[in-house]
Chain A
Amino acid sequence: MTNTIKEVQNSECMFIIGSNTTENHPVIGAMMKQAKDKGAKLIVADPRRIELSNYADVYMQIEPGTNIALLNGMMNVIVEKKLYDKKYIDDRTENFEELVELVKEYTPERVAKICGINEEDIIKAATIYAKANSAGIYYAMGITQHSTGTHGVMSISNLALMCGNVGKEFGGVNPLRGQNNVQGACDMGGLPADLPGYQKVFKEEVVEKFEKAWGSTLSTKVGLTIPEILDGCEDDSIRFLYIMGENPMVSDPDINHVKKALTNVDFLVVQDIFLTETAQLADVILPASSFAEKDGTFTNTERRVQRVRKAIEPIGQSKPDWQIIMEIMNTLGYKKKYLNSSSIMEEIASVTPQYGGISYKRLEADPMGLQWPCLDENHPGTPILHKEAIARGRGLFMPCEYVKSAELPDKEYPFIFTTGRILYHYHTRSMTGRVEGLNILAPSSYVEINEITARKMDIKDGDLVKLSSRRGEIETTAKVTDIIDEEVLFMPFHYAEGAANYLTNTSLDAISKIPELKVAAVKMEKAKKIEEAL
């Protein structure tokens, strides 16, 4: 997030696109509802009529995969009505003319057809957003998990820049990040081209700095992303795979492909707290301690670094992840030892500019933690990014054309299949699946089907249906609803039984390599009852 969570409650205008906030970031969702109660304007765009859309001033039920068309359409209206912030554009941005040129083609009339919504709603949404003194955009995987995900984010940035909403309180470009420490894992260099602090592995001065700090020789070759690693496991170019705290056998697209890869790799190490579907394929499993058994820090979606504190002793012989990794480093000949997680943070601060001023001592002193960038020990942290000036100098408009999803419905696979999370489970259920109450509230996999579609196909709520795509097939339970369009099906991806990801498409965004988990083409049939099948 460029801005902070605290601002949400006092927003003037919120635009929620591709985020089911009340289910996936429930506390932020509650704050959005509080803001609405206090008079904020709310615009929602989502293929499902999610809870927030019930309170929205404008709700647009867009077809999955059409975000960029909608965003360009809103910008078209803002340009036509001259509602953009001319001074901000002149003072702080560049390349506006090219954007104006591109969005000309995205008339509300044309966009309404692409997205399957009303022209008036596009105009209304654009007008509300642009007329607000400050307006925040909040998005999640509904924007990013597309073969055009990066362009989706750029289009959001275009819209925010055009109305002067970047670097402004209650405004901003605010991705709501799904996992507790996905921000931190990225910050720490858990990415194939980035050392800690997004310092590039191919830059000479960067590599030199880290070689000196770590006392070893580093590769300057950009590494592989997860989909490429899995391909490598299949074609034997990857022979040793070490997976920590991740369950691709449920979470990744095309599970049949994942299984082939993980079964084929020479040596698979899995480190986890439970025997997950992925761990079952391992050669060695290392038992890790849960968050309640270790010290450390998580960085939340607003870049806030906060303490994790040990509440109980490690279960069984399990160990904190950092300790296991350190011992493996030691066994492989790297002699450095860390006495505790605090000393690791000291090293992080010494090589990561954004974390330069972060230490356990400071985190203990303030229960609110610190928001990076926090450059040195006297730096107060940075609640709002780009406030004084846009970080790169001038905000760059990156006009993006709308491009259709990689796999579209056709005669054989007539439905658009989209996936997401629900309130009562978390990711692959390795934790929440072991909480009885959650299983009572959300026991098993299901697919949301529009009531008209269901009636046409003689499917009743609770019936077993068979879904298939070009990659696999599953059986799951029908949930007949009116919150989704007739040609769209939605499934939560949490469940290993009847897992949605047997169907999803591995097609990737060319820039970020994110898979297109939000759009695949599937067909649906009523599943045969067991007695009929016999």
Chain B
Amino acid sequence: MKINIDNKSYEVANDSTILEVCKLLNIDIPTLCYDERLTPHSACRMCLVEVEGAKNLVTSCSTRVRDGMRVFTNNEKVRSARREVLDLLLSNHPMECLNCEKSGRCKLQNYAYEYDLVDGTFKGETRKGEIDSSNPFYIYDPEKCILCGLCVRVCDELQCSHAIGFEDRGFDTIVATPFREGLINSECVSCGNCVSVCPVGALVPKSLEKFRHWETKEVRTTCSYCGVGCQIDLKVKDDKVLGAQPAFDGVNQGLLCVKGKFAYKFISHPDRLKTPLIKKNGEFVEASWEEAYRLIRQKATNIKEESGADSFAGLTSARCTNEDNYLFQKLFRAVIGTNNVDHCARL
């Protein structure tokens, strides 16, 4: 079917929403509660667009295209409505950007900048609530929450843990666990998939390290725990891993588990082995690589002469890369001369 967006005509698939079409066409529409994996929620009202002939502005995330539709995504009427929406959100939001960990990655902050808002203009009462810090890995701050519902819907529709939901009504609404017993006493499995989608600073990892998002780089890699092979972006500052974000274009489709999301701190743990160690009189003594290799060469040469190649054995590792494993078995087969190579596949 044919539709017209911002005075240009396009041929589009007929089961799409206006937002989906615009995404494909690289037409930018702001969103706070939209996630392509979830059913549209129409809560945040940021994606409002004007459809010719419609009585009101419509939410583009939940309105399907129709043949001959004329859509305006960025005219003054639309922009002013979005500014109003942002004004309402900011009026009920603590202006703590200077100290907020989300600063630089906060969609609310970015849209406030884009739509030229410094503060909310509706002065009066703001929502109060206590921070839930009962989970060891992340906190929920109801005062920063914009009630977009992404966390609730990810927990319901994708993680299917149903640990959190909306509590109370109207102005007092917050995201909470049943009977407000706290995250640690809920069905929460600490996957952090809610944290990964929160557009503001309401759900953030507990972190001892201070960093600003713009100081970090992200490196795409494969999670090193189970065999699912989730793709993650490791957040790095000053040669240290400070966080992990699920990739949306990997097998995991934007999901992770507690280990992939939060269990990266072993990487820079002080217990890491930092030099080769040689046992002398029952005690480990630090050694250089050359000393370690020399000892291995001596032992290998002697044992091979005395007992032959089949007195050697090696356990390679399901934790290491293909390249590591390939070379390990090659060392035993091509250099030492035995097929005594196995690994923990059965454990």
- Residues of chain A at the chain B interface (Cβ within 8 Å): 5-6, 22, 24-28, 30, 33-34, 36-37, 144-145, 176-193, 195-196, 201, 210, 214-219, 221-226, 229, 232-233, 237-246, 248, 251-252, 266-267, 269, 272-275, 279, 282-288, 290-294, 296-302, 304-313, 315-322, 325-329, 331-334, 338, 341, 344-345, 347-348, 367-368, 423-424, 426, 430-432, 434-438, 440-441, 512-515, 517
Contact = CB atoms under 8 A, between A and B. Distances in A.
Contact of A304 (B136, B251, B277, B278): B251
A223 B273 contact: no
Name the interface size band of chain B: 35 or more
B334 to A, nearest CB: 4
A240 B320 contact: no
Contact of B239 (A239, A299, A312, A440): A312
B266 A435 contact: yes
A489 B257 CA distance: 27
6 contacts: A240-B299, A246-B315, A284-B279, A309-B220, A344-B327, A440-B136
A28 B241 CA distance: 26
Contacts of A177: 227
Given A181-B317, A251-B347, 15 more contacts: A34-B157, A34-B160, A184-B321, A187-B322, A195-B329, A242-B314, A274-B273, A285-B276, A285-B284, A296-B322, A297-B321, A300-B228, A301-B229, A367-B249, A438-B258
Nearest to B330: A214
A145 B293 CA distance: 37
Nearest to A493: B347
A190 B342 contact: yes
Given A229-B313, A246-B317, A180 B227 contact: yes
A6 to B, nearest CB: 7
Contacts of A243: 314-315
A318 B294 CA distance: 17
B222 A298 contact: yes
A185 B316 contact: yes
A291 B219 CA distance: 12
Contact of A312 (B157, B236, B262): B236
A431 B263 CA distance: 8
A182 B303 contact: no
Contacts of B240: 312
Interface string B75-115: 00000000000000000000000000000000000000000
Looking at chain B's contact residues, the main secondary structure is mixed
B226 interface: yes
Given A26-B189, A296-B324, A367-B250, A191 B289 contact: no
B344 interface: yes
A191 B309 contact: no
B320 A269 contact: no
Contacts of B279: 282-284
B337 interface: yes
B324 A30 contact: no
Among B260, B338, B344, the one with the most A-chain Cβ atoms within 10 Å of its Cβ is B344
Contact of B322 (A193, A219, A297, A438): A297
A145 B326 CA distance: 26
Contacts of B289: 317, 319, 327
Contacts of B315: 226, 229, 241-244, 246, 248
A13 to B, nearest CB: 18
Contacts of B255: 27, 30
A285 to B, nearest CB: 4
A438 B293 CA distance: 37
Contacts of A441: 136, 190, 258
Contact of A438 (B227, B263, B287, B326): B263
Contact of B221 (A195, A226, A307, A322): A307
A506 B125 CA distance: 68
A240 B313 contact: yes
A81 B314 CA distance: 51
Interface in B215-274: 219-231, 234, 236, 239-241, 247, 249-252, 255-260, 262-269, 271-274
Contacts of B223: 180
Contact of A25 (B228, B337, B341): B228
Interface in B298-330: 299-300, 303, 306-307, 309-330
Among B189, B226, B256, B336, the one with the most A-chain Cβ atoms within 10 Å of its Cβ is B226
Nearest to B326: A188
A37 B336 CA distance: 54
Contacts of B126: none
A27 B193 CA distance: 10
A331 B274 contact: no
